[in-house]
Each structure stands twice: as structure tokens, then as C-alpha cells.
Amino acid sequence: MTLTLPPHTDEESLSAALDDFAAALGPAAVLRTEPEVREFRDPFWPAGDDTYAPSAVVMPETVEQVQEVVRIANRHRVPLWTHGQGRNNGYGGPAPRVGGSVVVSLRNMNRVLEINDELAYAVVEPGVRWFDLYDALQAGGHELMLSIPDLGWGSVVGNSLDNGCTYLPYGKDFMAPCGMEVVLADGEVLRTGMGAMENNPSWHLYKRGLGPVLDPLFIQSNFGIVTRMGVWLLRRPETYTALMLRLWNADDIGPAIDIIRELRLSDTIQGVPTIGNGLGIASQLTPRSQWYDGADPIPDEVQDRIGRELGVGRWAMRFGLWGDADMVELRLAKIRKAFARIPGAEVLATPYSGQDIAQAKVAPHDKVLAGIPNLDINTMTGWYGGEEGGHIGFSPVLPLTSEAFLEVHNLLRGIVEDEARLDYIAGSLVINERSVVTVAMIIFDTKDEAQTRRAYEVVRKLATEAGKRGYGEYRAHLDFMDLASDQYAFNDHAYRRFCERIKDAVDPNGILSPGRHGIWPSGARDV
């Protein structure tokens, strides 16, 4: 057995910690040999490179075991790295920022603790996947549904804490999560909001509390391990109408963005729409080789042909409406009228009843917005490399205006195509009424190490160039976390320095996820 050691930790301390974990949690809860540990690497990172390889994995099943894990880590000064499911692909998956960290995988803390029909919420442990919560709602015959992301295998808690998106109402602005239990670095259990009062029934109902509001402090942070979270659910509606906007010309995206903003501001469009270019949708449906065999980026005329032949256009927006049939009909009429200002633009509508949703009688591409988890979109990584495909993304936040969108879109496309010579696959998440996250999705063949390295290289370039223009990422891959964080430099990194002060106060030994989104404990800072 060759362990990847974390910095400042010798083999003896690490082994002693692993023995203590095994003594406290049982030997089956500690993975310390290959191939078990190998599964917890970034699936898309070059296989021979140990930069982000964990030394071992511990899998607690209870809050008490999580408390034991942090106490042991403190004793031996071993860095931990936590995930719910670790399906954070494109951002590093289950792998830690600091090579040799012990991964705390919460996959076995997978209980749905409560489903409340009257008040429409659930309470989950961090290992609960979208699949699991969906299954629990179906099995219990609850007339409730869940705002979900594209891939159903991830953790509800983990996704929320990484600022991952979901697409139904409650998908935006951290609306779904409410009330947390957190194990702190010293092993203490904190409950946030109304949960700070024993037996307070509003813990998962009211977003604040008395005093400072802490839930959002645990987003993308390393101040504690969230072991329980409330999540708001939706009453199953009378109808759900799946919508697709098709735009046939590459230039239609500008006016479309401004129309989308107005439809959001007037509360006509609900949920979180996603807009992709034709290549983005083609990558989910077909391999690249079907369309083009040049090594250069796919030219515009071929993109036009793909859009026509697949029937997706140059840009397509996936969105939906939920509610009583009469309300949905009114909203849809307003949406159609608004987009009619773009010549040739089409809004395709597929209506479903609440009964259809309950019985999962929904077409595959309409499932996500029906709250039915799946893995369909995962095929997109096969664009270049078939089964061995990987992806990373660069995801800056922009104002929801045509001007900002076109500026950033042209910048990103230019760098990806002209410098990296890769296809520019664009997806955009309309996060709220005023902002959009545009994702430059870089797909590569993981068997092709040169292409893989080039993909990571180009994202570094994108982060730097966008940063110069005042655009920053909402979430970053392990390999760019520091670079992404570096862009947030106002007043000599006042934000980061403030977070570091909190970090040092609540985790003085720096054992919890050091380096997560640029926050390092005192011993490990460059500055």
C-alpha cells in the first residue's frame, strides 16, 4: 500500500488516524487500499497524476460518527475533505483539493428523516440523492415534488452547498434549503435558524432566526460538515407544460436574453431556464464524428446544419410552467407573444397533467422539469471521446442583459476556438430575474492526455481574461479554485481575508476541507 500523504503529515500520523477511524466507525467504514480509494479521484483528471488523490476515505453513518471523525482528525492533524455523494463532476468529483486528504464520504448517511405533507418540505441527510428523495416521495404516495438538477445521482445537500442549480420553482437563489445541522471542526453540533431552539417546529420553515443568519455561510465553505438540511418541496400541480424555445440564427440570442429578463421580472417564466447552443444539445444526443471529422472547431455552417437536422436550432432554451391549467395557459400566451418579436423563433409546448407526473409518464427530455431524476444528459461527455469523455467548465456570472451576454460569449468562444482549437459548447443557466451563469463547457477525450491538458489550460485562460473584465465564476474546479478566488481581489482580498479569520476561529487546526474555494487555514496560506 502506498498512501498519498498530505503535506505536513507523516505516514505514521496518517496511519494512526486511519486506525482510530476504523476503531471508532468499524473497519468497513474506512477505505485505505486500492482499488477502493481510487474511485474517489476526479474521474476526468489524468490518471497518472496524484495531485488531487485522497489517501483514504471514511464513511460515517451517523452524526456521532462525524463528530468522532473530526475529533480524530484534529488529534492527528489530518486534513479532511467532505462530500455528500461526490458527483461534482467537472469540478473535481469526490476528490480533495489537497492531495492526501482523507475524504469524508457521507454516502452512507442517506436517510430521509422527514417528509411533511402539510407544510411541503423534507428533511434529509447529506448522502440522500435526488433519486432517493424522489423515490421516498413516490413510495409514500406524497402529492409533492422536488426541484432537481440535470443529474439525479448527486446529493441534495451537496448540490445545494456547491451552489448547484435546480430548475423548477425554488431552483433559484438558495430558495429550497432551509435549516441545517452542522458538525463543527471541534466536534460540536450546531443547529441553524430556528433549530437553535430545541424542538422548534419552524426549523425548516423560516429562513432566518434570532441573530446572524448562518445557513449561507456553509455554502462553498469549509466551516463545518452539514449533516442535516431541510428542503422545500412543491405541491404537485394540476399541470406541467414542458417548453422549448428554438432560435434558428446564431444572432437571435441577444434579443432573446432581453426578452427572457422581462418575462422573469414580470414573473411570467417560472423556475430556472437553461439555454444551450446547438452544439451543447447535439453533444447530448450524438457523437461529434457524426457531424465533422476536422481537428479544428466545428465551423458555423456545420453548426447551422446540425441545428437544422437535429431540429434544435442554433440556440434552444429548456423551460417549463407549473400550476393550474388556466394560469399556465395565460403565462404561455404571454411567452409566445414576447418571443414572436424574434423572426422564426418557436416555442414548443408539451402539456402534462399532475397525474402524468405522478406516474412518470413524461418524455425523457421533459423529465428534469417534471422533477423526475435521471442521468440522460451525462452522454454529452462522449462528444469527442465516446465512453472515455470528460468535461470541465468555466462558469462566470453575468447581468441578464444582451450586452453582457454577447460580450462574454464572444470572449469565451474566441479563446476556446482560436487558442484551444476545441468546440465551443455553451450552456447558460438563468439563475434569477437579473443574472445568468454562462457555462463554457469544455469536453475532452480523457484517453487523450494532450487534449485533456489543453482543456484545463484553456479554462485557466478563460478565468484570467474574464476576470480582467470584471466577470467571476460561481464555482470552480479544484485545479482553478485558487485562480478563481484570486479574481475576487477587492481591497487586497478583503473578502477572502474575512473568511480566513472565520476559518481560523472555528477550525484552528485547519482540518476541514482546506483550500475549498480559495479559503485556506492559517498554516497553509501563501500570503
| One of 28, 450, 505, 527 touching its own copies (CB under 8 A) | 505
Sites for its own copies among residues 310-369 (CB under 8 A): 323-324, 326-327, 330-331, 334
Phi, psi for 443 (deg, rounded to 5): -105, 140
For 273, residues 6+ apart whose C-beta sits below 8 A from its C-beta are 167, 260, 317, 318, 319, 429, 430
The minimum distance between CB 458 and its own copies, in angstroms, equals: 19
Biggest distance spanned by C-alpha atoms of the chain: 69
Sites for its own copies among residues 252-291 (CB under 8 A): 261-262, 265-267
Helices 449-468 and 402-414, interaxial angle, to 10°?
140
Sites for its own copies among residues 152-191 (CB under 8 A): 163, 169, 173-175, 184, 188-191
Q: Is 51 in the site for its own copies (CB under 8 A)?
A: no
Phi, psi for 131 (deg, rounded to 5): -55, -45
Q: Which of 318, 424, 474, 496 is catalytic?
A: 474
Cβ nearer to its own copies, comparing 351 with 508:
508
| Beta-bridge partner residues of 144 | 235
Cβ nearer to its own copies, comparing 63 with 310:
63
Sites for its own copies among residues 404-423 (CB under 8 A): 404
What beta strand segments (E) does 192-334 contain? 225-232, 234-235, 239-247, 274-277, 315-323
Cell of residue 167, nine digits: 430548475
| One of 15, 110, 200, 353 touching its own copies (CB under 8 A) | 200
Sites for its own copies among residues 465-504 (CB under 8 A): 467, 470-476, 484-485, 487-491, 494-499, 501-502, 504
121 is catalytic: no
Query: End-to-end alpha-carbon separation of the chain, Å?
Result: 35
206 is catalytic: no
Sites for its own copies among residues 107-136 (CB under 8 A): 118-121
**Radius of gyration of the chain from its Cα atoms, rounded to whole angstroms:** 23
The minimum distance between CB 67 and its own copies, in angstroms, equals: 11
Cβ nearer to its own copies, comparing 343 with 490:
490
Going by C-alpha positions, the residue among 163, 167, 171, 165 that lies closest to residue 218 is 163
**Contact at 8 Å (CB) between 408 and 394?**
no
Sites for its own copies among residues 202-231 (CB under 8 A): 202, 205-221, 223
Cβ nearer to its own copies, comparing 210 with 527:
210
Q: Is 2 in the site for its own copies (CB under 8 A)?
A: no
| Beta-bridge partner residues of 352 | 240
Cβ nearer to its own copies, comparing 434 with 453:
434
The minimum distance between CB 50 and its own copies, in angstroms, equals: 26
Cell of residue 470, nine digits: 470584471
# binding residues, its own copies (CB under 8 A) = 99
167 is catalytic: no
| One of 38, 308, 337, 434 touching its own copies (CB under 8 A) | 434
Cβ nearer to its own copies, comparing 129 with 331:
331
Cβ nearer to its own copies, comparing 5 with 189:
189
Stretch that binds its own copies, among 63-71, 149-157, 195-203, 421-429 (CB under 8 A): 195-203
What beta strand segments (E) does 315-424 contain? 315-323, 346-353, 389-394, 397-399
DSSP state of 207: S
Q: CA-to-CA distance for 129 and 156, rounded, in angstroms?
A: 6
**Strand (E) or helix (H) holding 30:** strand 30-31
Report the 10 Å Cβ neighbour count for 220. Answer: 18
Q: Which of 91, 121, 240, 424 is catalytic?
A: 91
Give CA torsion, residues 55, 61, 64, 70, to 10 deg. 10
The minimum distance between CB 316 and its own copies, in angstroms, equals: 24
Q: Is 519 in the site for its own copies (CB under 8 A)?
A: yes
Annotated catalytic residues are 91, 474-475
